[in-house]
Amino acid sequence: MEYNRLKTAVTDIRMPEDMQTRILNNVQIQSRRKFPIRTGFWKRPAVIIVEAALFIGLAIPVCVGASETISQIMHRVSPSIARFFQLVQESCTDNDIKMEVISSHIDGDTVSFYITMQDLTGGRIDGTIDLNDSYFIDVPYDTSAYCQPLGYDTETSTATFMVNLTRMDGKPITDRKVTFTVTEFLSRKTTYDGIEIPVDLTTIPTSPETQLVHYTGAGGMGAKDAVHHDKMIEALVPDSPDPDFPVSGIDLTGIGFVDGTLHIQTRVTDPLSNGNHGYFYLIDGDGSQINYDASYTFQQDTAGVRTDYTDHLFNVTPEQLVNCKLYGNFYTAALLTRGYWSVTFNLETEQSQNNS
């Protein structure tokens, strides 16, 4: 098993054919040997073989695919060794989209670094780009992190992000190697801020059809008050989408009072591919805003396609709604781009680099 995995990794490395043959032969010989167990310092043969193969690989050009394969094998064998031997690669191109680290800075227990993403063919990156929580950071300590968009250059189709991470234990950062990886992003986003929803609030049903569902997400200060048991919630049974709902990519599928609480329900199809979401609020006759008290999301799968339904709950009475209007803030995206972009770089106290 070890030989087969290592053979794949070594085969992917771009190296002279005679060198590749020597390494593969050595791996095969070593994997068949019986090593005596000794007291004191000892390593498994497989780890020694991988270290040797990686040592040779680091000295020669390696394609992106090969470095990923080696990294995966190394992490299975020994994460600490994998981090030590991780190739320094400050830019990465996949699907004609280039990601590059341009600068970094360490300040005690906090690291800040700047990443750019550039569409080399155009059309997929714009000023609304959102990494969609698809990024992850490989460091040998627990951190809290966030990624913030800084701007977009239309001439070069380049978006810039600032990433901050802080050690959870408060200790100074001494391990200076960081790997930042992105697997997808959203773009062509549309924002609907303060949009009025054309619903007659004086004719809302007071006994709509409901169902008990298992909720997968909840929000709002009053969320716990509406829970039944075992993460169950009484929700509206989805109706046909309201054709007058003004948000493309989100459907209004129900509104009604359930046990004296106003429920307003939306539907998003295949949410992982678009990130569409939003919320409602009311404006009364005095211009005061009434926020929803709780929201619950439950899922349904149809022909393998996930659909999310969200009930927004308001603790208001039908009488209170007479002078109210319904509004909402919603966010949708028209394009999801998937790929694998990963950069590994060494942090400096102050570092500013521009690599092609």
Based on the fold, state whether residues 141 and 217 are members of the same structural domain.
no
What is the SS3 assignment for the chain?
A: CHHHHHHHHHHHCCCCHHHHHHHHHHHHHHHHCCCCCCCCCCCCHHHHHHHHHHHHHHCCCCCHHHHHHHHHHHHHHCHHHHHHHCCCECEEEECCEEEEEEEEEEECCEEEEEEEEEECCCCCCCCCCECCCCCEEECCCCEEEEEEEEEEECCCCEEEEEEEEEECCCCCCCCCEEEEEEEEEEEEEEEEEEEECCCCCCCCCCCCCEEEEECCEEECCCHHHHCCCCCEEEEECCCCCCCCCCCCCCEEEEEEEECCEEEEEEEEECHHHCCCEEEEEEECCCCCEEECCEEEEEEEEECCEEEEEEEEEECCCCCHHHHCEEEEEEEEEEEEEEEEEEEEEECCCEEECCCC
Based on the fold, state whether residues 131 and 242 are members of the same structural domain.
no
Based on the fold, state whether residues 46 and 95 are members of the same structural domain.
no
Which CATH number covers residue 184?
A: 2.60.40.1630
Based on the fold, state whether residues 95 and 184 are members of the same structural domain.
yes
Give the CA radius of gyration of the chain: 27
Based on the fold, state whether residues 304 and 206 are members of the same structural domain.
yes
Domain end (from 41, 56, 85): 85
Q: CB under 8 Å to 304, separation ≥6 — which residues?
A: none
Q: What is the pLDDT of residue 176?
A: 80
Q: Is residue 329 part of a domain?
A: no
Instruction: Output b/e per residue, 108-127; b: 16+ Cβ within 10 A.
Output: ebbbbbbbbbbbeeeebbbe
Q: CB under 8 Å to 238, separation ≥6 — which residues?
A: 253, 254, 265, 267, 309
Q: Is residue 328 part of a domain?
A: no
Q: Is residue 347 part of a domain?
A: yes
Q: Is residue 288 part of a domain?
A: yes
Based on the fold, state whether residues 167 and 227 are members of the same structural domain.
no
Domain end (from 85, 115, 134): 85
Based on the fold, state whether residues 238 and 319 are members of the same structural domain.
yes
User: Residue 268, exposed/middle/buried by CB under 10 A (0-12, 13-18, 19+)?
Assistant: buried
| pLDDT tens by residue, the chain, 356 residues | 444 444 444 444 444 455 445 444 544 444 444 433 333 333 344 444 444 444 434 433 333 443 444 455 545 555 555 544 445 568 999 999 999 999 888 889 999 999 999 999 988 999 999 998 889 998 888 889 989 999 999 999 999 999 999 999 999 988 888 999 999 999 999 999 999 999 999 999 999 999 999 999 888 877 766 555 678 889 999 999 999 999 999 999 999 999 999 999 999 999 989 999 999 999 999 999 999 999 999 999 988 899 999 999 999 999 999 999 999 999 999 999 999 999 998 886 543 334 44
Based on the fold, state whether residues 216 and 305 are members of the same structural domain.
yes
**Is the overall model pTM greater than 0.75, yes or no?**
no
Q: Is residue 140 part of a domain?
A: yes
Based on the fold, state whether residues 213 and 290 are members of the same structural domain.
yes
Instruction: Tell me the residue range of the domain where 240 lies.
Output: 202-323
Based on the fold, state whether residues 81 and 158 are members of the same structural domain.
no
Q: Is residue 331 part of a domain?
A: no
Q: Is residue 36 part of a domain?
A: yes
Based on the fold, state whether residues 161 and 218 are members of the same structural domain.
no
Based on the fold, state whether residues 104 and 121 are members of the same structural domain.
yes
Q: What is the pLDDT of residue 17?
A: 52
Take residue 262 and report the two structure tokens written for it.
Answer: 């106003």
Q: Is residue 49 part of a domain?
A: yes
Domain count, the chain: 3
